[in-house]
């Protein structure tokens, strides 16, 4: 009996240590919420009979937390149910919602949203009211989702749309009304992602027509897939599939650069025939930033810096003159010092901190134009780096979660011995104290 108690005691110690170990390894950044939009091209029984296609579709959908689907032609629902069974066959836990079968003709389609239940919860559906099909061939279908692991974005409405190609201009223009009614249905929810096959390119929507579309002209809407992107697997080159984001929180939460085409043929090494058997469209994807432990993030100092070295060999007199007590840099308030690196190489340095962007630009412009170290190309590069989105700090972008001070440090350093090359560095510090407010 004593031995049993000893074993039980050791077991509970092991459990406690395991829990503590996992607690210590809690992630500062949750995984991003991954979203896909995909026109499955006449999805139904025939496509489900092709096991190679089913395997590829299953693997694609499992990569994402939310998959927004167009062109489900499955009359009795059996094919879509089989797809869901295949997706969950390896212990995954996905669920789905479907619209009713929609369309002016006997060839009807359903919209669908497949979601990973561990990270996403569906909180309601909304069918845009167009029962007589006055405005849309397939009236858009909306789903409200709760994002369990997103950062500063608790809920989101997704509007799924597949326009009629020959009516694409009119239907896309009408999407502003769809947005307004969807927002009103959910008590003013402004964070809305419009996704799907817009047919928004080539002959269906010309560049001239695009400029007149209200969804494009209204600054509240951000188009995330460019007009020059090819979303088709055929020989055409058309930006049919799109994401359009509305709402400040949603737009801020989208990871910069994450909205793009997912070329599944390259990932799965498919032939052209195998690729086209899946769909005549490439899916499009984006990511929403995962939850951030800001208490943990505030423990780290992270600076934005950009620097470059000029490979020009300067004369010693020019270098020493610029760093002298009556030289340009000291007259501008820079601190001059000598530094030796780990390889015992000596540098002469000039540093000025707490400069505004304008002060950096003014300092660069005020240096004598005949100065061989601050030649025109160097001035241009400094200003280019200063004005770059990177140095500005993309608001709420991945990697720029910390707020950054509006002040800059500017450093110039040159080799103390031949060949006297010089380098330049701009640094912007983050303000960790704001992370906890």
Pair (76, 190) in one structural domain: yes
Pair (345, 322) in one structural domain: yes
pLDDT, tens digit (0-9, with 9 covering 90-100), for 47-94: 999 999 999 999 999 999 999 999 999 999 999 999 999 999 999 999
Within a domain: residue 399? yes
Within a domain: residue 3? no
Within a domain: residue 251? yes
Q: What is the pLDDT of residue 195?
A: 98
Pair (261, 135) in one structural domain: yes
Whether the pLDDT of residue 12 is over 80: the answer is no
Q: What is the pLDDT of residue 402?
A: 63
Last residue of a domain, one of 260, 292, 324: 292
DSSP secondary structure letter of residue 285:
E
Widest pairwise Cα distance in the chain: 92
Pair (314, 269) in one structural domain: no
Pair (215, 94) in one structural domain: yes
Choose between 407 and 136: higher pLDDT: 136
Within a domain: residue 384? yes
Q: What is the pLDDT of residue 11?
A: 57
Q: Where residue 263 falls among pLDDT bands split at 50, 70, 90? A: very high
Within a domain: residue 4? no
Whether the pLDDT of residue 25 is over 60: the answer is no
Within a domain: residue 338? yes
Q: What is the pLDDT of residue 5?
A: 57
Q: What is the pLDDT of residue 27?
A: 81
Q: What is the pLDDT of residue 432?
A: 64
Which of 23-32, 104-113, 119-128, 305-314 has the lowest average pLDDT? 23-32
Pair (214, 285) in one structural domain: yes
Pair (384, 282) in one structural domain: no
State mean pLDDT over 237-263.
95
Identify the top-confidence range among 17-31, 175-189, 309-323, 332-346: 175-189
The catalytic residue among 71, 110, 137, 162 is: 162
Strand bridging mode 241-246 / 66-72: unpaired
- Total of domains in the chain: 2
Q: Where residue 15 falls among pLDDT bands split at 50, 70, 90? A: low
**Helix ranges restricted to H, 63-159:** 78-87
Last residue of a domain, one of 292, 324, 346: 292
59 catalytic? Reply is: no
Choose between 66 and 342: higher pLDDT: 66
Looking at residue 181, which CATH number applies to its domain? Answer: 3.60.10.10
Give the chain's mean pLDDT.
Answer: 90
Pair (288, 151) in one structural domain: yes
Last residue of a domain, one of 242, 257, 292: 292
Q: For 80-89, which contacts have Cβ atoms below 8 Å and span 24 or more sequence positions?
A: 80/43, 80/110, 80/112, 82/48, 82/54, 83/43, 83/48, 83/54, 83/57, 83/58, 84/114, 86/54, 86/57, 86/58, 87/58, 87/61, 87/62, 87/114, 89/58
Within a domain: residue 256? yes
109 catalytic? Reply is: yes
Pair (239, 264) in one structural domain: yes
The catalytic residue among 71, 109, 137, 171 is: 109
Whether the pLDDT of residue 276 is over 80: the answer is yes
Pair (287, 304) in one structural domain: no
pLDDT, tens digit (0-9, with 9 covering 90-100), for 373-388: 999 999 999 999 988 8
Paired tokens of 167: 């009516």
φ/ψ (deg, to 5) at 290: -75, 165
Give the Cα separation of 435 and 230 in Å (integer): 40
pLDDT, tens digit (0-9, with 9 covering 90-100), for 113-166: 999 999 999 999 999 999 999 999 999 999 999 999 999 899 999 999 999 999
Within a domain: residue 107? yes
pLDDT, tens digit (0-9, with 9 covering 90-100), for 346-377: 999 999 999 999 999 999 999 988 889 999 99
Whether the pLDDT of residue 4 is over 50: the answer is no
Pair (327, 403) in one structural domain: yes
Q: What is the pLDDT of residue 273?
A: 96
In which domain, by residue range, is 381 found? 297-436
Pair (79, 211) in one structural domain: yes
């Amino acid at each position: 009996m004593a031995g049993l108690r000893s074993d039980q005691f050791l077991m509970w110690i092991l459990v406690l240590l395991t829990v503590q170990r996992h607690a210590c390894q809690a992630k500062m950044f949750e995984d991003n919420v991954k979203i896909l939009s995909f026109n499955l091209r006449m999805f139904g029984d025939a496509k489900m009979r092709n096991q190679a296609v089913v395997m590829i579709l299953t693997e694609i959908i499992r990569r994402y937390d939310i998959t927004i689907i167009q062109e489900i032609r499955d009359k009795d629902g059996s094919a879509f149910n089989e797809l869901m069974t295949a997706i969950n066959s390896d212990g995954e836990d996905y669920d789905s919602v479907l619209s009713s079968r929609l369309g002016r003709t006997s060839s009807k389609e359903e919209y669908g949203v497949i979601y990973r239940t561990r990270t996403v919860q569906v909180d309601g559906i909304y069918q845009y009211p167009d029962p007589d099909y006055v405005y849309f061939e397939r009236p858009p279908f909306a789903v409200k989702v709760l994002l369990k692991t997103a950062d500063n974005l608790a809920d989101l409405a997704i509007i799924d749309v597949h326009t009629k190609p020959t009516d694409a201009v009119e239907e896309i223009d009408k999407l502003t009304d769809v947005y307004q009614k969807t927002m009103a249905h959910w008590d003013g929810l402004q964070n809305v992602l419009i996704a799907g096959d817009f047919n928004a390119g080539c002959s269906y929507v010309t560049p001239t027509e695009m400029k007149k579309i209200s969804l494009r002209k209204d600054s509240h809407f951000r188009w995330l897939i460019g007009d020059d992107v090819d979303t088709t697997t055929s020989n055409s080159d058309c930006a049919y599939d799109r994401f359009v984001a509305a709402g400040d929180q949603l737009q801020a939460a989208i990871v910069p650069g994450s909205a793009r085409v997912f070329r599944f043929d390259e990932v799965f090494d498919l032939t052209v025939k195998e690729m086209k058997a899946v769909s005549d469209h490439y899916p499009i994807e984006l990511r929403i930033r995962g939850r951030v432990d800001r208490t943990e993030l505030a423990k780290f100092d992270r600076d934005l810096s950009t620097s470059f070295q000029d490979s020009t060999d300067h004369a010693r007199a020019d270098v020493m003159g610029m760093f002298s007590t009556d030289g340009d840099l000291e007259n501008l308030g820079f601190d001059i010092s000598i530094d030796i690196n780990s390889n015992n190489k000596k540098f002469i340095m000039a540093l000025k901190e707490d400069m505004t962007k304008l002060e950096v630009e003014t300092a660069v412009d005020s240096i004598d134009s005949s100065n061989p170290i601050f030649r025109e190309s160097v001035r241009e590069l400094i200003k280019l780096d200063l004005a770059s989105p990177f140095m500005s700090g993309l608001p709420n972008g991945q990697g720029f979660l910390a707020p950054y001070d509006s002040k800059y440090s500017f450093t110039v350093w040159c080799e103390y011995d031949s060949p006297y090359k010089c380098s330049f560095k701009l640094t912007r510090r983050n303000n960790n104290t704001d992370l906890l407010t």
